[in-house]
Amino acid sequence: MSYRDLLSLFNSQYNYIKSEDYCFKGGRRKAIHIDSNLNLTGHQKTTLANKLNGARRSNEKKMLISKTIKELRAMGEKETISAIHRKSGITRNTIIKHIKNLELTNLNELADSLIQNL
């Protein structure tokens, strides 16, 4: 490939990225950042991050279930698992898992206890 062809390819890709039509798909945003001063091994960091991410996702689902229940009550509808599922899009199994305890997990306390137990 000549320099001119390479420059042309680069410019076309760069202009496409800068255009309004470009939408980046992929990548991920980290929710858990672990202080390097903790001197944890890779396995310990992975275990810690997985448990915290699981608790964070559970909290998100619990908040959505609570919000949906409030909306159903405001509309005068029954708060059945099926109604919550239809309105929120959360799977029935997840609703059944969380419906009896919608109390959120304190992630800071969980992180502290996990670090102490590593």
For the chain, 118 residues long, give each residue's pLDDT as a single digit of tens.
799 989 899 888 888 888 877 777 777 777 788 888 888 888 998 999 999 999 999 999 999 999 999 999 999 999 999 999 999 999 999 999 999 999 999 999 998 898 888 7
Residue 19 confidence (pLDDT): 82
Integer-rounded Cα Rg, in Å, for the chain is 23
Cα–Cα distance measured from residue 118 to residue 108, given in angstroms and rounded to the nearest whole number:
16
| Amino acid 23: pLDDT | 76
pLDDT of residue 22: 75
Query: Which two tokens mark 96?
Result: 């059944």
Q: In this predicted structure, what is the pLDDT of residue 82? A: 95
Cβ within 8 Å of residue 115, ≥6 positions away: 38, 40, 48
pLDDT of residue 34: 83
Which tokens belong to 21? 């039509």
pLDDT for position 33: 80
pLDDT computed for residue 60 by the predictor:
95
Separation of alpha carbons 74 and 39, rounded Å? 50
Report pLDDT for 88.
Answer: 94
